[in-house]
Structure 1
Amino acid sequence: MNKTNVKSTKKGFFNKFLDFVERAGNRLPHPVTLFVIFSLIIIVISAIAEKVGLSVTFDKFVDGEMVPTTVTAISLLNAEGIRKMFSLAVTNFTSFAPLGTVLVAMLGVGVAEGTGLIQTGLRKLVLSTPKRWITAVVVFAGVMSNIASDAGYVVLVPLGALVFLSFGRHPLAGLAAAFAGVSGGFSANLMVGPTDALLSGITQPAAQMIQGDYIVPATANFYFLFVSTILITIVGTFVTEKIIEPRLGEYKGKAIASMDKVTEEENRGLKWAGISVLAFVIVILLLVVPQSGILRNPENGSILDNSPFIGGIVPIIALLFLIPGIAYGIASGTVKSDKDVVDAMGKAMASMGGYLVLAFVAAQFVNYFTWTNLGTILAVKGADFLSSTGMTGITMIIGFILVTAFINLFIGSASAKWAIMAPIFVPMLMQIGYSPEFTQVAYRIGDSTTNIISPLMSYFAVIIAFAKKYDEDMGIGTLVSTMLPYSLFFLISWSILLILWFVIGLPIGPGAFIRM
């Protein structure tokens, strides 16, 4: 019996459980077929839910004040629902959030890849970076990428796979590490970002239900999330190297990454690519940094709050790859004319064919779920159940995190969930002495940690499409079983960090404390 077989017979319970999840998941139909089945199930459930009169009432923040709102399950099997499914099928697809992000970003990334910039840059990285640090670098970059909204899903996740392949490691482990950082560590960061402003804008009016002049700044969770970035990087690195890579074993696929020495022409290309990136960044800074910067919000001068900079982050990312890609190609000789650039864009778009099919059916499913109000009803019912348990103190907070993590499997949008949950939990916890900022940070833990195992998460279909490049048989079961250890370890370790923070009584942000 060879070494590999001996190792396989000594699998622990956790690995056996992951294998079961993978086998069970991969016995399911193709992801496209699966989303069709999910859609049909939602249609049937919606009809049953409407027939039994399923509904919920909750306070919702509308135009500066809390308004009692009743939401009722809506059937898609009546005449109106059937008309809606047919008439909005195209709109569902074209307005699917990840679609534009992926395709626009891929125009730039495709040029950078087609001219050879990415491959050469990765070879340079491999030759100059200690192997023991690369996993942590990939996870950390993923965590930090959420400052650029959703661009990390499109750029860093496939790059993580390429980086690992360049190091002779399994590319799916690199993809998993990057995905874990981008999505599982979504709320953590070393900087204040758009999500901070978005959530605090919902928390503040909920807090004002109890204290009319209460202010929740975007920096409310900064200290805790700064430390969380380090924690997620460490835990993500541990899970990748101790659990994921041993399970995946040696990569035997067809994809290869050249490890030849970087030539003089390639070095010249990298030099000019670097100069072009520097010039581009300077231009963007000139448009953003001055108080009157063109890419700031023209009404309040904000960089984060509904500004053209945040709204245009995807084309900015595309240009950040396109410009150096062209500069590299001209300097290294891989670009002879504009036709080469356009061809690279075309090849990038052609490679996304499978994703477009998957995105079409996934978009229908996500919209059906939204139209029926089943997600909102589930969220309110879950919140009502937790508030009725009578739990207090840290027990309540942990219960709150777990309920949020569960609801997150069905409602991916952080703001949509918080708009429902904040008016319930922020005032309730304020009345027993806990600050809105503390409640918000607990919510963010639950909201982040189960993103990576939810097929309802908008970019889940994108990740499957990227993974199929390295494993044509990749299914939902394989992806979920690969990401489940990250989800569990992030949830446990992040909750422990919050408990320690609670026990010590540290501030969670500038002027923001655990207790009122």
Structure 2
Amino acid sequence: ETIQAVSLFTPEGIRRIITEAVSNFVNFPPLGTVLVAMLGVGVAESTGLISALLRQVVLVAPAKFITPAIIFCGVMSNLASDAGYVVLTPLAALVFLAYKRHPIAGLAAAFAGVSGGYSANLLIGSIEPLLAGITENSAKLINSEYTVNPAVNYYFMVVSTFVITLVGWYITDKIVEPRLGKYNGEINQEEIPELTAAERKGLRWAGYSLLAFVALLLILVLPPEGILRDPETFTIIPSPFFQGIVPIIMVGFILPGIVYGKTAGTIQSDKDIAQGMTQAMSLMGYYIALSFFAAQFVAYFGWSNLGIILAVNGANFLKATGFTGLPLLISFIIVSGFINLFIGSASAKWNIMAPVFVPMLMLVGYTPELTQMVYRIGDSTTNIITPLMPYFPIIVAFAQRYDKKTGMGTLIATMLPYSLAFLISWSALFIIWFIFGIPIGPGAGIRL
């Protein structure tokens, strides 16, 4: 079949651009999934649950394990929108100072976990549905029936969590902190905020509610004829469980958030719950605006056939030159990391790259899920050294509390060892995964 480029600068093309602009936006898959997930995250964050949980984990960790505890909390905190940056990074500096260690080393460890470990986690957060929606849209340029569920990189994410924690621990204690030397600055008198009795009780009951929710999900999924299995084949993959993972994520945040808020006293009425959701949505204005233009871009790519043409030509070039396999995929990791230095938003970059690279690598034989995973490795590893990352100025401001001379250049130099170590170790983990053909997530393999 011959595919030809279709010009949109024709009367018919212009009419289509104008008449379908709203439907492109409304039907853009990542938009609804992200907003639904963020409703739950907003409740958990506004009630103080996420902040209290991060503080609890860091404060109870033994002195010799304080570094990995901070990095691990950083990785896990990227479930929320900004709790890791706003709560954990200054807290980590205070904790290091309390242990007579350099506070900027603590801040760097937290920042490395929060931002450098952005593509690792033990749980599915709001970024997974967002990227999966973009990946699915791009895959449909080749296969209109292709679907991508938000958990497709989950197995790799779980292992990555521990790899990033261990590598970050080594870099902090053996490279970054020794380079910083002994802290001789003015001692900050600010105390580490201990959890109140109400907060501890709230955390306990929030944990109970989450366990009850997980138990309910297991009851609905594990039995051979469970309600959330496929009603015809009774399989788990695919099933309503994975198709409905986004509202499940939302409830998984809302339920413990409400229980914590009622127990700790941060929720007085249903208005407080609504306020938490409203605050979360108010932070999504940039994303909603971006989604409008991204939706048009993706639609135009499909209408004009440019996505398919670029993918086919690119795939033919790769086959002709023999540039496939690990060299190709490692190169894609490096390209993603390089582009991240200039475009900070993960979704903005993927909206630009996915319509070309997902179909191209599908034609070479690799799954869209693998392409997404490879992209995320490169994207995460350079997050901590790009000044264009939205929270970078905030981290600089936190560091200046302990060293007035700290600027963007100083912070980049401090974070560079983490970036290089994460790039090398994550790539090595990926190579092992690729060689042994390990599934990267539920229902997601490496090759088509």
- Structure-2-length-normalised TM-score: 0.65
Aligned equivalent of 2:404 = 472
Aligned equivalent of 1:230 = 162
Aligned equivalent of 2:429 = 497
- 2:431 maps to a residue whose letter is I
> In the TM superposition, what whole-angstrom CA distance separates every residue of 1:432-455 from its partner, at most 9, and x where no partner exists?
111111111000101111111111
| Counterpart check, 1:180 vs 2:106 | no
Aligned equivalent of 1:274 = 200
Aligned equivalent of 1:304 = 246
- 1:413 maps to a residue whose letter is S
Q: How does 1:67-86 map to 2 (within 5 A)?
A: none
> In the TM superposition, what whole-angstrom CA distance separates every residue of 1:361-399 from its partner, at most 9, and x where no partner exists?
xxxxxxxxxxxx9xx9xxx9xx99997675321111111
- 1:271 maps to a residue whose letter is A
Partners in 1 of 2:314 and 2:181 — Cα distance? 42
Partners in 1 of 2:128 and 2:401 — Cα distance? 34
Higher alpha-carbon deviation: 385-394 or 428-437? 385-394
After superposition, the Cα gap between the structure-2 partners of 1:303 and 1:219, relative to the gap in structure 1 and judged at 3 Å, is closer
> In the TM superposition, what whole-angstrom CA distance separates every residue of 1:314-359 from its partner, at most 9, and x where no partner exists?
xx69x979996999xxxxxxxxxxxxxxxxxxxxxxxxxxxxxxxx
- 1:273 maps to a residue whose letter is E
Structure 1 residue 157: Cα displacement: 1.1
- 1:240 maps to a residue whose letter is T
Q: 1:207 aligns with which of 139, 152, 172?
A: 139
- 1:242 maps to a residue whose letter is K
Structure 1 residue 270: Cα displacement: 3.8
DSSP-derived class of the 2:246 partner:
coil
Partners in 1 of 2:62 and 2:250 — Cα distance? 39
- 2:104 maps to a residue whose letter is L
**Over aligned residue pairs, what C-alpha RMSD do you find?**
4.6
DSSP-derived class of the 2:364 partner:
coil
> In the TM superposition, what whole-angstrom CA distance separates every residue of 1:53-95 from its partner, at most 9, and x where no partner exists?
xxxxxxx9945999xxxxxxxxxxxxxxxxxxxxxxxxxxxxx
Contact 1:177 / 1:240 at 8 angstroms: preserved in 2?
yes
Aligned equivalent of 2:360 = 428
DSSP-derived class of the 1:274 partner:
helix
Partners in 2 of 1:400 and 1:303 — Cα distance? 29
Aligned equivalent of 1:349 = none
Q: How many residues align?
A: 349
Q: 2:376 aligns with which of 422, 444, 447?
A: 444
Aligned equivalent of 1:219 = 151
Partners in 2 of 1:246 and 1:386 — Cα distance? 46
Higher alpha-carbon deviation: 155-164 or 440-449? 155-164
Partners in 2 of 1:429 and 1:441 — Cα distance? 13
Contact 2:201 / 2:263 at 8 angstroms: preserved in 1?
no
After superposition, the Cα gap between the structure-2 partners of 1:464 and 1:194, relative to the gap in structure 1 and judged at 3 Å, is same
| Counterpart check, 1:192 vs 2:160 | no
Partners in 1 of 2:47 and 2:150 — Cα distance? 33
Contact 2:198 / 2:263 at 8 angstroms: preserved in 1?
no
Q: 1:510 aligns with which of 424, 434, 442?
A: 442
Q: Any stretches of 5+ residues in structure 1 without a counterpart? A: 1-59, 67-100, 113-117, 292-299, 328-372
DSSP-derived class of the 2:384 partner:
helix
| Counterpart check, 1:481 vs 2:413 | yes
Q: How does 1:47-58 map to 2 (within 5 A)?
A: none
Structure 1 residue 281: Cα displacement: 6.6
Partners in 2 of 1:152 and 1:270 — Cα distance? 20
Partners in 1 of 2:110 and 2:99 — Cα distance? 15
- Structure-1-length-normalised TM-score: 0.57
Partners in 2 of 1:400 and 1:462 — Cα distance? 30
Aligned equivalent of 2:334 = 402
After superposition, the Cα gap between the structure-2 partners of 1:472 and 1:144, relative to the gap in structure 1 and judged at 3 Å, is same
After superposition, the Cα gap between the structure-2 partners of 1:321 and 1:508, relative to the gap in structure 1 and judged at 3 Å, is same
Contact 1:169 / 1:250 at 8 angstroms: preserved in 2?
yes
